[in-house]
Amino acid sequence: MTFPPLPSSLEAALAERGYDTATPVQAEVMRAEAAGRDLVVSAQTGSGKTIAFGLAIARELLGESDAIPFSEGPLALIIAPTRELALQVSRELAWLYGKAGGRIATCVGGMNPQQERRALRSGANIVVGTPGRLRDHLERGALDLSGLKAVVLDEADEMLDMGFREELEEILDAMPETRRTLLFSATMPRPIEAIARRYQRNALRIATIDEGRGHGDISYQAVTVSPPEIENAAVNLLRFHEAETAILFCATRENVRHLHATLQERGFAVVALSGEHSQSERNQALQALRDRRARVCVATDVAARGIDLPTLSLVIHVEIPRDAETLQHRSGRTGRAGKKGTAVMIVPFSRRKRVESMLRHAKITADWTDAPDREAIKTRDRERLLEKLLEPVEVDEGDRELAERLLAERTPAQIAAMLVHAHRASMPEPEDLIANTAEARREAQKERHRPGFEDTVWFRMALGRRQNADPRWILPLLCRRGHITRNEIGAIRIAPDETYFQIPRRIAEKFADAAARSAKDDGDDEPVAIEMSESGPRDAARTNRKRHHAHGKADTQRAKAKPAFRKFDKAKGKKDGKPGKPPKGAKGMPKSKKH
């Protein structure tokens, strides 16, 4: 659909940028039915919604003219959840309203607040900002909303998820009731509907998201791996797709830091985005991606919000999203403006059911597959390399002379092999993955045993989490009691009331004898009991579950037989919520701290 008649300044700006056809969300907000009304718009990221709400508020900004009239305060306010998204919106509106005299002030955390206040005082007619910084300017008297005609809440669902409800309500309450309110959100949970009811009047609902699946321009894949193979799978996925730009999502900044270092070590041109980076570092990272100096970005959910990279075609969920909405927001970084994209989730075997449920909730159909192995990557490399080397090129006289000299000293086959080798040398090596079969996983588990621990015996000690058991003092205790070194102690499994640990079978008898003798020599009235275990931690855990289940049934029967009373008494044996005394016989155990 072509754009309807617009003010000449906006038509000229759109023509310069090559906008000749309106996207579905842009067409919907410019319908006659939507003119002047409050709007609740459900639109997918990358659907052109920034230009959509920019055009939707044109009447409030321009009136019947082609230029924005002078005003002492802002006429339009756009609120975005993150700095990156706010800066992106500012850039888009700057060129859209540049010919109409638009003066835009951007107010975001991490920037100089004094410069922002000067921009507000200089007569900015459009203000774009994040909730926290906007509220700060409002409370200091630097932001005057008395003349506001329109407000846009961009990605409102994310702002509520990030805990900005209080800031949003304070800002909205300070606006004149006659303003127009436009609410844009990829999802419409109940809190969004509550805000719409409170702050909008006779709002028009517009939904442009395909109900059949989360995003029509994104193909979804789910790759199942064993937990230790997650990073290797991420490396192979990057190598297999060789996307022009890719983004990998992690849950925490620590994981972003670790994966960023891992990919750097393997030879990828990679940048990181997380809450620990300053605004200057974020800008540099994004510029490196735009300049093609970097091709991979590792980021947290919040840090990546609002990133718009035209060349981004691959999203990898290294850690599973917390819900269906987060999945859609992450994946929406690709497949934008009609381009195709791929979103891949790396799924540990134990989390498959949870991911399947999330995909059903999001109405997304994903292809379940294995991570690409070394052979599959090499096959793709050969195809890409052949395609690239067969492309027509223009050569000058110097290049032609060099080619003739090479042909004189080497055969064509040798030159072609050297060329292939030179191209391949710049590519990071793929990782060797465990085959996705039960037998292969069992064999790999055997290979991961430490040398000397192929044949072990489980021992048990009568201390667990309830007694503050911790490997930091358990290891010295076992070394002292068993007359061994910490290198002779295998896996340690701490249960609620007991701890299991492995000792190589060749020294098990010696360890058991020493532990029994040293118990008498420790001088404690009640030394910690250490004994050989026939079953090990797995059977013990199964017994504990059965015991807990039996107690649960007994408790249910007692609850039915007696009236229920709330107990407000303190637990016996504890005073003021302090933990009990350290167990006797555990010398070197740290003292409990007050909570």
pTM of the model: 0.56
Q: How far apart are CA 250 and CA 300, in angstroms?
A: 5
CATH number of 8-207: 3.40.50.300
- What mean pLDDT value characterizes the chain? 81
Question: How much is the average pLDDT of 467-473?
Answer: 82
Q: Range(s) for CATH 3.40.50.300 in the chain?
A: 8-207, 218-373
Q: How many CB atoms lie within 10 A of CB 464?
A: 17
Query: Residues near 172 by Cβ (< 8 Å), separated by ≥ 6?
Result: 151, 181, 199
Q: Where are the beta strands (DSSP E) in 449-553?
A: 456-461, 492-494, 499-504, 530-532
What does the pLDDT read at residue 227? 84
Q: For a pLDDT cut of 70, what percent of the chain falls above it?
A: 83
Q: Please answer whether residues 533 and 458 qualify as being in contact, where contact means their C-beta atoms are separated by less than 8 angstroms.
A: yes
Write out pLDDT tens, residues 85-115: 898 899 999 999 999 999 999 999 878 899 9
How would residue 523 be classed by pLDDT, with cut points 50, 70 and 90?
Answer: low
Q: Is the pLDDT of residue 57 over 80?
A: yes
Higher pLDDT, 229 or 279: 229
Question: Any idea which fold 456-540 has?
Answer: Alpha-Beta Plaits (3.30.70)
pLDDT at 522: 59
The boundaries of every CATH 3.30.70.330 domain in the chain are: 456-540
pLDDT at 85: 85
Q: Is residue 588 predicted with pLDDT exceeding 50?
A: no
Q: What is the mean pLDDT of residues 381-394?
A: 81
Contacts 24+ apart (CB under 8 A), 308-311: 308/46, 308/88, 308/336, 309/245, 309/247, 309/333, 310/336, 310/337, 310/339, 311/244, 311/245
Average pLDDT over residues 437-451: 58
- Architecture, CATH, for domain 218-373: 3-Layer(aba) Sandwich (3.40)
Helix axes 374-389, 230-241, angle to 10 degrees: 20
pLDDT at 386: 83
| pLDDT tens-digit map of 334-360 | 876 667 889 999 999 888 999 999 998
pLDDT reading at 168 higher than 70: yes
